[in-house]
Structure 1
Amino acid sequence: MSEPYSQKAAFQAAWSIDQWLNYLSEIHPANIEMGLERVAAVFQRLNVDLSNKTIITVAGTNGKGTTCAMIEQALLLQGKTVAVFSSPHLLDYRERVRIQGEMLSQAQHCLAFIEVEKARQTISLTYFEFGTLQALQLMADSQAEFLILEVGLGGRLDAVNIIDADIAVVTSIDLDHQEWLGHTREAIAIEKSGIFRTGIPVIIGEPQPPTTLLDAAASLGVIASWQAQDFHYGLTELGFNWRNTEYQFEQLVKPLIPAQNAATALQVLSVLGIPLNLTFVNQLLTQTKLAGRRQIILHEPSIMLDVAHNPHATRLLAQEISQQQYRKVIAVVGMLADKDIQQSLAPLVKCVDSWYCASLNVPRGAKAKQLVSVLSQEKLVLEFDSVAKAYLAACEIAHKEDLILAFGSFYTVAEVLTLVEGN
């Protein structure tokens, strides 16, 4: 090791996690750079052994986080050791890695960052690639039996895909990140199917899979389970129903997470050979939740947080809200400028009574006027220069039987959570 590098390593050994994150943001010119060559080369140098672990890789346009959370919760209830990597985080970077359902210390994160920095040498890594390798180092050190890996973007060229999955999951397929993944569901499905490996079990939660996904499954000879074909679910006034070729459950409690994701997770558990019974599944459905996903943080008025930021997610969110009995729905919304703002807001128009549009003051954040411009036909549309101001204004006028819905981005939800937790 050269003397300058030794000095740099000694300096970095004293860094806090915030210093590391600032460094990760500075060492690569782009936030996203598709391709696996660089991250795979550094992973090989890390010499991390995951051969004795069961790898579950989860891709999809929406629903990845909650599907991972339910699989994780089930394995924990079964006494298994489990590690999860997911992104992005809401309030604390350490949320991205959970071991036995808990975050690790800042010191553990910093030590893993040091290991990746030593291994990368002169190889340039993006923020996400560096973080993925750091997460894999932490998960390997944890001795967990099961690793659940959430794909960050797409699948085929995502950093997570340097690891061969034992089970692959695709939760949903719709339009998002088109500049990277393609402008059709067929093209996006090809990217998602990149996590498949020859002959492995694959669980597809998307009820209308594009032909390209069917073709990918056939060409690799995967053992596929298709939603609405190999497993089925339904929601009625009496509860949640789910069945596959082995199990049939009726009038279960309604899940706290979206029903489609709960159904997909149950099929994963069935394929894993986890025994399912009425008591266990009900326990799972009542205990699985994830911050920022249909999250009710207060009542009277009800305040719901959801990270929905694309048309597919907001359609599902609108269905959920329309089934509830609220006097009025007040939407506090902030979005990134590169999202399809018009198509993302459109599904909620029928169930939202007033719009509190906020500028998102982050890189790529949309200004409030961009949101207002697509809501010009609505009766009550207000403009605010921050999510915090929009949220506080909504709280001032909300009746106890109203719903305040804060949505549109992880950043939007994080700003509201920070405000609420600070009070």
Structure 2
Amino acid sequence: MQTSDAILDRLMALHPKVIDLVLDRVHRLLDALDHPETHLPPVIHIAGTNGKGSTLAMIRAGLEGAGDSCHAYTSPHLARFHERIRLAGDLIAEDRLAELLAECEAANGGDPITYFEITTCAALLAFARTPADWTLLEVGLGGRLDATNVVNPALTVITPVSMDHEGFLGDTIEKIAGEKAGILKPGVPCIVGPQDEAALEVIEYRAARLNAPLHIHGQHWHVTEENGGLVFQDETGLMDLPPPRLIGAHQAQNAGMAVAALRVLGRAEGAPAAMRNATWPARMQRLSTGPLVDAAGAAEVWLDGGHNPAAGMALAEALTRLPHRPLHLICGMLNTKDARGYMRPLAARADHLHAVSIPGEPNTLSAAQTRAEAEAAGLPASEAGSVAEAIARITSVDPQARILICGSLYLAGRVLQQNG
């Protein structure tokens, strides 16, 4: 049998664009596959700009803590495509993935379709054929025209909306919120995370038209950090919870969305497990083993894939929660991102930024461009030929440093591959 990588390489060539937001091609292929999207376990559909993956991870941990099994679909992957598809809790096996991709390729018959569209169809096919209690779907981009928006969900979630992907979703917060709100369905409840007022107005307007009940942060539910833990409150009462395993004030908000979702789903008993057991790679992840960690010696090595101004603010806040150490950033970013806006909140936290390009990524900013953006944001910066070179340079000057590799999920994926 052909490997999944070989099939994925062919699928990448089926459409001239990586992103082309329409649903026609997805509906055509799902029709050819006998509509697996209509045979899924109950779906929880998650859109938003920041926090989708972490919120999904906490909902999954909570449902599994309550004794349920979950499918999960996330993107992008970091090291291997298989990370995108979990079947009843386990990453999809290579033989199963290759078989599904080949089936979708044959059913598509060579017609134009994007990589994300056809692989989403493969995931839905896998979920329809494998028993589980729930299906968790993370939107790839936007919501209204995203390839995942072909399902009849039991619950939707909209995490905080901010400026990102303006070339595809619109140049105002209202336009972007309108795209995210495209996952709302008639009569289906939606958990709404903390929102800019303008974004919330758009979400509320669409929900009213669809008669979709909203559970809104700050109105219907609240979450606060108290005495080292979390307190969640909604109309049914208070819950005292352990702190989220994931680091940062923004993770408390994500935890609140997860607990609100568990309440609506009737699985509130899983809330403590949602806090304790959730893991999400490259979100303030401390690396503990591997060649890069060995090379760093006594220095700490952290990894984060956030890449927009809101993520930069969240990351800066999360860093204040760690014991003080000199902080050195190793940063690589895509040329489609607001690099200066991302770096600006970090300028007050970091001693120096070491700019790198992202290996094998055609849309990377060059190290020189990243250095220039950092300096414009008020961050002292220099260029390095690689992450390993930057680590060696940092530890030669400051052996006790805290090293944070950041700026892109694509860079984070390369680092995880390199670090084994």
User: TM-score scaled to structure 2, two decimals?
Assistant: 0.92
Q: Compare relative contact order (CA 8 Å, sep 6+) and give the higher one, 1 or 2.
A: 2
Q: Is the 8 A contact 2:161 2:195 kept in 1?
A: no
Shift of 1:71: 1.1
Residue number in structure 1 paired with 2:261: 268
- 2:58 matched to 1:58? no
Report SS of the residue matched to 2:68: coil
Q: Is the 8 A contact 2:62 2:272 kept in 1?
A: no
Superposed CA offset, 1:234-274 (max 9, x none): 22453222211113134633442511111101100000011
Q: CA RMSD in A?
A: 1.8
Residue number in structure 1 paired with 2:170: 182
Name the amino acid aligned to 2:4. I
1:411–1:396 CA distance, 2 compared to 1 (3 A): farther
Residue number in structure 1 paired with 2:60: 72
Residue number in structure 2 paired with 1:404: 403
1:281–1:146 CA distance, 2 compared to 1 (3 A): closer
Residue number in structure 1 paired with 2:318: 320
Shift of 1:112: 0.5
Report SS of the residue matched to 2:91: coil
Q: Is the 8 A contact 1:359 1:368 kept in 2?
A: yes
Pairs aligned (count): 404
Q: 1:338-417 alignment to 2 at 5 Å?
A: 338-361=336-359, 362-376=361-375, 378=378, 380-400=380-400, 402-417=401-416
Report SS of the residue matched to 1:58: strand
Give the Cα separation in 2 of the matches to 1:406 and 1:18: 27
Shift of 1:95: 0.3
Residue number in structure 1 paired with 2:10: 23
Residue number in structure 2 paired with 1:207: 195
Q: 1:208-227 alignment to 2 at 5 Å?
A: 208-209=196-197, 210=199, 211-227=201-217
Structure 1 runs, 4 residues or longer, greater than 4 Å off: none
Give the Cα separation in 2 of the matches to 1:393 and 1:420: 18
Name the amino acid aligned to 2:284. R
Give the Cα separation in 2 of the matches to 1:195 and 1:64: 14
Q: 1:290-329 alignment to 2 at 5 Å?
A: 290-298=280-288, 300-329=298-327
Shift of 1:410: 1.1
Report SS of the residue matched to 2:61: helix
Residue number in structure 1 paired with 2:34: 47
Q: Is the 8 A contact 1:303 1:405 kept in 2?
A: yes
Q: Is the 8 A contact 1:42 1:123 kept in 2?
A: no
Report SS of the residue matched to 1:132: helix
1:415–1:380 CA distance, 2 compared to 1 (3 A): same
Give the Cα separation in 2 of the matches to 1:385 and 1:357: 8
1:346–1:46 CA distance, 2 compared to 1 (3 A): same
Shift of 1:33: 0.7
Give the Cα separation in 1 of the matches to 2:309 and 2:106: 42
1:130–1:182 CA distance, 2 compared to 1 (3 A): same
Give the Cα separation in 2 of the matches to 1:347 and 1:52: 42
